[in-house]
């Protein structure tokens, strides 16, 4: 499988971003998620992961957000949960392999289950949208430490755990399992890239 590099992925972002502001928000977020994952990949216990694949997954995972902007440049927050499937469709239309397309549709939260879709009446087809491979889990996990709603800031593990608790203790448990698998990133070391101190609670 040929994995696109950062410049090719940047060109895809530029092609599909409806505005310069959207490009800056989404592409920068994807780069920061990769900075988290890259740091975690330095641990010897994660040496078996495909770093090139993780990098592509990080840089592509949110590309579907572009399809939620209207003609006025406003983001459709009510349907934000759809950005993963929209990203998968976008990458499929570009001819990318399913392995890469899955990073879009399988990174939301700490995994969206069919039961989540039905019980919360989410605007996506009922299915399990769960990270299955270690590379998918790492992209999903690294994504939790930076939010586009906190521009320029990382989120500490404690801040994300507090955020996800509103969706049930099972989500907190799932996040804890990811922390056990991949470890906590050193956000203080990453902060200069994001300009401001992390949100801690």
- Count of C-beta atoms within a 10 Å radius of residue 72: 7
Contact 146, 36 (CB under 8 A): yes
pLDDT at 200: 62
Residue labelled with tokens 């769960």? 130
pLDDT, residue 190, reads: 87
Helix or strand holding residue 34 (H, E): helix 20-41
* C-alpha span between 154 and 95 (Å, rounded): 33
Low-confidence ranges of the chain (pLDDT < 50): none
Tell me, what's the pLDDT at 116? 96
- d(Cα 184, Cα 12) in Å, to the nearest integer? 30
- pLDDT of res. 149: 74
Q: What is the pLDDT of residue 147?
A: 85
Above pLDDT 90, what percent of the chain? Answer: 88
């Amino acid at each position: 499988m040929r994995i696109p590099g950062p410049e090719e992925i940047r060109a895809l972002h530029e092609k599909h971003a409806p505005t310069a502001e959207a490009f800056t928000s989404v592409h920068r977020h994807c780069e920061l998620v990769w900075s988290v994952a890259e740091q975690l990949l330095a641990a010897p216990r994660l040496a078996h992961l495909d770093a090139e694949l993780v990098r592509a997954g990080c840089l592509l995972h949110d590309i579907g957000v572009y399809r939620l902007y209207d003609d006025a440049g406003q983001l459709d927050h009510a349907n934000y949960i759809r950005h993963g499937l929209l990203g998968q469709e976008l990458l499929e239309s570009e001819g990318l392999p399913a392995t890469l397309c899955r990073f879009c549709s399988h990174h939301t939260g700490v995994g969206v289950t069919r039961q989540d879709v039905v019980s919360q009446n989410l605007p996506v087809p009922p299915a399990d949208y769960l990270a299955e491979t270690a590379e998918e889990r790492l992209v999903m996990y690294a994504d939790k430490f930076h939010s586009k709603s906190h521009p320029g800031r990382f989120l500490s593990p404690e801040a994300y755990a507090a955020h996800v608790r509103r969706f049930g203790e099972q989500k907190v448990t799932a996040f804890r399992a990811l922390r056990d698998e991949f470890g906590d990133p050193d956000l203080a070391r990453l902060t200069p890239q994001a300009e401001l101190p992390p949100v801690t609670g």
